[in-house]
Amino acid sequence: MSRSGKKPTKPLAQNPQKTMNSLETLRRVNAGLPRVNRLTDIYNGISIKHQIPLGGEDIDKYNGSPILRRAKGDEQFETMSGGEVAIEYPTPGEDVWCGDKGVTCRR
């Protein structure tokens, strides 16, 4: 159930044949785990050690309330690539966490 108490109309699940979860992505990193910040580095390490996808959100950084929904595909998602800020766009129908200013978490 969502925070609003409403049940989702469809189960929120990605096709595992098309989309890797965070653990699968971390397993593919050849140069060691990426450094993000202390908290993210800790839960990435726990994820690898215990072989479970794990993540977190900084609720204070949200504009508005966090909402789990399916992406339209035109929402911006700010991420890091090679130490540089990069903008990605989710696939239409992909499950994403959003605030009022866009996507905050994918996969």
Which of the pair, 22 or 99, is modelled with greater confidence?
99
**C-alpha count within 13 angstroms, C-beta hemisphere, residue 83:** 0
Tens-digit pLDDT profile for residues 15-25: 555 667 677 77
Cβ atoms of 17 and 24 closer than 8 Å: no
Cα dist. 17→13, 14, 21 in Å? Answer: 12, 9, 11
Tens-digit pLDDT profile for residues 70-86: 999 999 998 877 778 89
pLDDT of residue 92: 95
For the beta carbon of residue 90, count every other beta carbon within 10 angstroms: 21
The reported pTM is 0.60
